[in-house]
Structure 1
Amino acid sequence: MLNQTIPLLHVLSELDIPGLIELSSSVEWDYNAEELRTVLAIGTVYGHKNEANQLVSCAAVIPYEDQLATIGMVIVHSSCRGLGLGRSLMKACMEAVPLDSAIMLIATKEGQPLYESMGFVTVDTIHKSIRKNVSPLTNEPASEFVDIVPMKESDLTAAIELDALAVGSKRSAFLYTRMQQAKTCLVIKDQEGTIVGFGFAVQGPINLVAGPIVARNSAEATSLLCKLTEGHEGHIRIDVPDGQEDFLRFLAQNEFEKASQPPVMIARANSLPPRSGHYFGIGAQIFG
């Protein structure tokens, strides 16, 4: 990849999944084919290809239903940096979003200056935590008045509504697709049988990724996390929005180590949409 002619920008498809996996591996990101199919199913992925038809960059934009979109998976191969490909990708993604919609992303340290130059401002942070211990998580039961049970497809409507309050926008297509992808899907029901929280766990190439997790309080979120990871003997990753201090203390007590604390940035708005405070684990950084 030494040719420094400017590669051409393309809209990518499932045929590009092998190239996307190779590109993400070059920056030590653990995308697999199943995760990339989810991204392609609900969003648009752009990428530059060189004269040998090799994929040398990518970025994805995912629209949600209430004037909100996310951008993620912004990668430029090391051999092609300095050619303006990152800016070209961001421009394409932003132009795909209606002007009246806010755009959110979770930035890397390397990408933050570019995003700031394109109008993004930092509004929050994410606590990325990973646990390598294979022993079970330990916590007290959330309450004798709640039940944690497998999610049925008929439960998805209630989960979408809870997620919308937690995130600030409906994400119907994302949650439907994520449910098909997930290793485990659970809901919390109160004593009347009303769904009051939910959580997914998705197996990646390296980590079991817990999220999204939506719950009324930290106790219920910890119980969900314990159930989602029950019997899992590998690494566990969870990315927690700012403000969930009790939940973060639980993670520290259970040997989760903070891997990074990336900023949440937004453009075309002054702040994130109103949120209920019930968001304890994001689905993945690309989904916000």
Structure 2
Amino acid sequence: MLLELSSGLVAIENQRVVATIFVTPHGADVATINMVIVDEAMRGRGIGRRIMQAALEIVGTRECRLVATAEGLPLYQSLGFERTGEIAQHQGPLRACIAAGAVDRATSADFDHIVALDRLAYGADRTALLQALFHTGRLAVLRKTDGLRGYAALRAFGRGELCGPVVAETAADAQDLLSFLFAARPGVFMRVDTGAETGLAPFLLEHGLAHVGGGIAMRRAASPAPSNISSVHTFALASQALG
């Protein structure tokens, strides 16, 4: 999926790949940089900086986002990225969970509403990503009397499954969405990447997902904040790579 959604670059020495990077555009306004990997034996030679600079040429004038490791932080700061928050990675075998009643499975009729909600929360058009998630994963929606007020996605990932994005108005609504998707997956190895400020950690810990690390959210050439504050927020990422 990442290959289909992104442009990738590699650094090659002596016919061997020694570094990789991906740029994933989200519409015309935002892109994420991810899969920044340099062969351990080649570090200290400026390859990471050179491949980042090549990726930033692809990004162009878009706002650029990434999730950094502590080791990569100095490089990204030197290239104009600023810290915006902390990402907490939670994972583990899911404990039994009871589904919330106001949530049900998304249908094709919900897709445009999901895209609109995601744009409000994320600040960019992620239609291509959401189409991929709709066709390869499972999406749930939270319905209220005034319409669709949140969504969450579940898909295969790594050694198990990953839940995200999760977009909702409140942490309680986000927990209802997660509960619906978790309820059918007891014992499955699950991963959720969430902002440290979302307040989801106690819920995730309660359901068996231990805090195992995370990263540093960063932005470069950030767009001005909209004057109207969005009513919905991102409570879990599609992944640390995709935002």
TM-score by length of 1: 0.77
Q: Given the alignment, which residue of 163, 184, 188 partners 2:142?
A: 188
1:8-29 C-alpha deviation (Å, 9 max, x unpaired): xxxxxxxxxxxxxxxxxxxxxx
SS in 1 for 2:17: coil
1:62-113 C-alpha deviation (Å, 9 max, x unpaired): 11225211111101111221222211111111111232x2111110111111
Q: Is residue 50 from structure 1 mapped to residue 22 from structure 2 by the alignment? A: no
On the 8 A contact 2:165/2:236 being kept in 1, the answer is yes
Greater strand proportion: 2
Match of residue 121 from structure 1: 82
- The alpha-carbon deviation at position 115 of structure 1 amounts to 0.5
CA RMSD of aligned residues (A): 2.1
1:239-270 C-alpha deviation (Å, 9 max, x unpaired): 1123212x222122223211124111111138
Task: Specify whether residues 197 and 270 from structure 1 end up closer, same or farther in structure 2 by C-alpha distance, changes over 3 A only.
Answer: closer
Between the two proteins, the alignment pairs up a number of residues equal to 240
SS in 1 for 2:150: strand
Q: Which has the larger radius of gyration?
A: 1
- The alpha-carbon deviation at position 277 of structure 1 amounts to 4.9
Structure 1 unaligned runs (5+)? 1-37
Task: Specify whether residues 277 and 150 from structure 1 end up closer, same or farther in structure 2 by C-alpha distance, changes over 3 A only.
Answer: closer
Distance 2:41 2:87 in 1: 29
Distance 1:280 1:81 in 2: 35
Match of residue 109 from structure 1: 70
Match of residue 92 from structure 1: 54
Amino acid at match of 2:126: R
TM-score by length of 2: 0.90
Distance 2:8 2:225 in 1: 23
On the 8 A contact 2:117/2:232 being kept in 1, the answer is no
- Specify which structure has the bigger relative contact order, considering alpha-carbon pairs within 8 angstroms and separated by 6 or more residues: 2
SS in 2 for 1:110: coil
Distance 1:82 1:200 in 2: 39
SS in 2 for 1:114: helix
Match of residue 78 from structure 1: 40
Amino acid at match of 1:222: Q
SS in 1 for 2:80: coil
Q: Given the alignment, which residue of 213, 223, 229 partners 2:182?
A: 229
Q: Percent identity, aligned pairs only?
A: 27
SS in 2 for 1:286: coil
Match of residue 203 from structure 1: 156
Task: Specify whether residues 108 and 95 from structure 1 end up closer, same or farther in structure 2 by C-alpha distance, changes over 3 A only.
Answer: same
Distance 2:76 2:48 in 1: 10
Distance 2:233 2:219 in 1: 20
Q: Given the alignment, which residue of 194, 199, 211 partners 1:240?
A: 194
Structure 2 unaligned runs (5+)? none
1:116-162 C-alpha deviation (Å, 9 max, x unpaired): 11111101111111123x431357x4xx6x3x222222311110110
Match of residue 10 from structure 1: none
